């Protein structure tokens, strides 16, 4: 019972502490000239309006910004927040926010990483709650818990809990490789039985469209699967606030794959996934729903 209770407590504590961890580690964008000329600044003023451009000079009481409409000088007292964004996210003078869930598809991970201090909480199909936080540029960790137990007799004994570390191996703008694991306690398992999957993932492509291939080996207790599970998925940006998403799993010994596809609607921090998934044992597609908030 001790290992199970320990993992349950760790999962719940990690989910509860994710926003606080992010707040403590979150990077603060300085009000300074960025030496990277490919970056632009999104300046939020105290009245709620925004200015998009490049900071070219900073003084004690003001800042000069080169915007598409011309050069402006803004008093520091009027600046509420500054965020650096890649110039590629500006289109016709408008800011196209990045997909806040670029580190995953519907559920499966991509090889992209959260930045230090970034994190998110999400819910899938209403009964699965998970959250992740970036600890460094190359390491993130998360946890998940099911909200509906497999049996009504004991919430903690018959629920699923897992933790999920991920490490970046190759990190570039259009090519990323990462390894990680999902390890936890399935319902009805013995107290000391851990189950999950260790995986490697490769993501190729830019922020507006990418393909992810994942290969993983499942384990249960001390037994490791002889053949891998393969995941193939991808995303494609279709508008300022919408992307196509697909995630497909191929299981060893199972003739039919698990297929899914749909849309992700997103802003800077909130996103909603609406799609359909077909399980190998079913001939019909079931609706998929997911929601996430990034901090």
Q: Could you report the per-residue pLDDT of 75-99, keeping only the tens digit for each?
A: 888 888 888 888 878 787 788 888 9
Name which of 235, 229, 264 is nearest 247 in CA terms. 235
CA distance 135 to 238: 31
State the residue for tokens 């993983």.
216
Predicted local confidence at residue 260, as pLDDT: 96
Is 131 within 8 Å of 138 (Cβ atoms)? no
CA distances (Å), origin 201, targets 19, 29, 288 = 26, 30, 23
Name which of 223, 283, 212, 215 is nearest 251 in CA terms. 215
236 pLDDT band (50/70/90 cuts)?
very high
Query: 98-294: which CATH number, 2.40.160.40, 2.10.10.90, 3.30.360.10, 3.30.465.10?
Result: 2.40.160.40
Angle at 9 between CA 142 and CA 133, to 5 degrees: 20
CA distances (Å), origin 25, targets 109, 205, 262 = 23, 28, 34
Q: Could you give the percent of the chain with pLDDT greater than 90?
A: 48
29 pLDDT band (50/70/90 cuts)?
very low
Angle at 118 between CA 131 and CA 33, to 5 degrees: 170
Predicted local confidence at residue 159, as pLDDT: 75
Which CATH class, in words, describes the domain spanning 39-95?
A: mainly beta
Q: Is 277 helix (H, G, I), strand (E, B) or coil?
A: strand
Length of the chain equals 295
What pTM does this model have? 0.77
Residues 37-76: tens digit of each pLDDT: 888 888 888 888 888 889 999 888 888 999 888 898 988 8
Q: Is 105 helix (H, G, I), strand (E, B) or coil?
A: coil
CA distance 41 to 35: 12
What does the domain layout of the chain look like in residue ranges? 39-95, 98-294
């Amino acid at each position: 019972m001790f290992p199970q209770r320990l993992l349950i407590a760790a999962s719940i504590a990690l989910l509860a502490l994710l926003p606080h961890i992010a707040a403590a580690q979150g990077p603060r964008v300085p009000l300074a000239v960025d030496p990277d000329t490919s970056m632009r600044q999104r300046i939020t003023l105290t009245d709620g309006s925004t200015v998009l451009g490049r900071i070219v000079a900073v003084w004690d009481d003001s800042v000069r910004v080169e915007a598409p409409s011309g050069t402006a000088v803004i008093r520091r007292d009027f600046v509420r927040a500054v965020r650096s964004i890649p110039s590629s996210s500006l289109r016709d003078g408008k800011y196209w926010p990045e997909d806040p869930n670029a580190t995953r598809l519907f559920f499966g991970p991509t090889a992209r990483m959260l930045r230090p201090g970034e994190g998110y909480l999400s819910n899938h199909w209403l009964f699965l709650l998970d959250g992740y936080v970036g600890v460094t540029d190359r390491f993130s960790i998360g946890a998940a818990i099911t909200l509906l137990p497999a049996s009504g007799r004991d919430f903690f004994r018959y629920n699923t809990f897992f933790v999920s570390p991920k490490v970046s191996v190759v990190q570039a703008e259009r090519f990323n490789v990462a390894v990680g694991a999902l390890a936890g306690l399935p319902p009805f398992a013995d107290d000391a039985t851990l189950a999950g999957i260790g995986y490697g993932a490769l993501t190729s492509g830019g922020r507006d469209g990418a393909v992810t291939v994942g290969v993983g080996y499942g384990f249960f207790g001390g037994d490791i699967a002889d053949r891998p599970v393969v995941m193939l998925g991808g995303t494609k940006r279709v508008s300022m606030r919408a992307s196509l998403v697909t995630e497909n799993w191929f299981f060893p010994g199972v003739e039919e794959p698990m297929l899914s596809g749909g849309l992700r609607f997103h802003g800077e921090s909130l996103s909603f996934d609406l799609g359909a998934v077909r399980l190998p044992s079913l001939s019909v597609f079931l609706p998929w729903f997911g929601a996430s908030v990034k901090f």
